[in-house]
Each structure stands twice: as structure tokens, then as C-alpha cells.
Amino acid sequence: MKTAFAMAVVALALMIAQASCAHSQRPVLYLNDHLKQVGNDQAQAEIDECMRLATEYGADSSSGGEVAKDTAGGAAIGGAVGAATGAVLGSAGRGLAAGAAGGAAGGLARGVFTSDRKDPVFRQFVDRCLREKGYEPIGWR
């Protein structure tokens, strides 16, 4: 029963991870003369192109690795706390398992909610690419 609950928590966290990946940050452009001239559709296509180039030339670091590290770190910390608590209460093994599951879920959730933040080098690459095309990036959302 407890294993099924833990599996359900992990499945829910993975669904949240997939939903958060659908909304990745993108640059916001200042409404200058160039943007007025080409229009929003063309600007969005050029943002896509600059983002593709940034990834192609190695300026994009994978956030998947960071999510995995957060999950593993959470499991390790949760396991240690759970084992210590379980030892005091009489069941170190059960405490370890419960703590590791809870810590992993917490680490996964942390990683998921921070994974859409683009790497600073990636942002700089895209911003420069856009400036060279005549746009004025003012931030990311």
C-alpha cells in the first residue's frame, strides 16, 4: 500500500515535469522600429532560429541533468534523515525507505520548478543573435 502511494507521488511529479517543460522561457523584445516593421510572427520565428543556433553551437546546458541531480540529492538527504529517525523510533530500514522516497519527491519537484530557467550563456547567445538581427531583447519570461 505504501509502495503504491510512493509510486503515485512519483508519477504525479513526472507529469508536472512534463507540463513545466512545455513552458520554457523565451526572450521578450522591446517594440522598436525593426520589430514594428517585421511583425511579431517573423520575430518569433527569428527567436526560434536564434535558440536553435544556441543549442546547435553548445550554448545550451541540459536541465535534465540538474533535475536528476536534485532528485538524487533529495533522496540521499531524505534517506539519511529517515534512517536516523527510524533508528530512534525502532525501524531504521523503514525510516530510510520513507525518507528516501520523500526526499526524492522533494528533489524532483525542486528540479522541475527550476528547470525552465535557461542557462546564462544560452541567454547571452540568443540575445546577441537577436541584437545582430535588429531586435532589442529586454529580458526573458
Quick: pLDDT tens for 52-89: 999 999 998 765 555 566 667 777 787 677 777 777 88
pLDDT at position 56: 97
Higher pLDDT, 109 or 127: 127
- Check: pTM over 0.85? Answer yes or no: no
Q: Is 129 exposed, middle or buried (0-12, 13-18, 19+ CB in 10 A)?
A: buried
3-state secondary structure of 55: helix
pLDDT value at residue 100: 72
Q: What is the pLDDT of residue 107?
A: 64
- pLDDT reading at 118 higher than 80: yes
Residues 67-106 as b or e (16 or more Cβ within 10 Å = b)? beebbebbbebbbebbbebbeeeeeeeebbbbbbbbbbbb
Q: Which three cell numbers stand for residue 46?
A: 527569428
C-alpha–C-alpha distance, residues 103 and 77, integer Å: 6
The C-alpha atoms of residue 111 and residue 71 are separated, in whole angstroms, by 7
Mean pLDDT of 91-120: 71
Report CA-CA distances (Å) from 24 to 53, 79, 88, 126: 16, 32, 44, 14
Per-residue pLDDT tens digits for 9-48: 655 555 555 545 545 899 999 999 999 999 999 999 999 9
Q: Of residues 51 and 89, which shows the higher confidence score?
A: 51
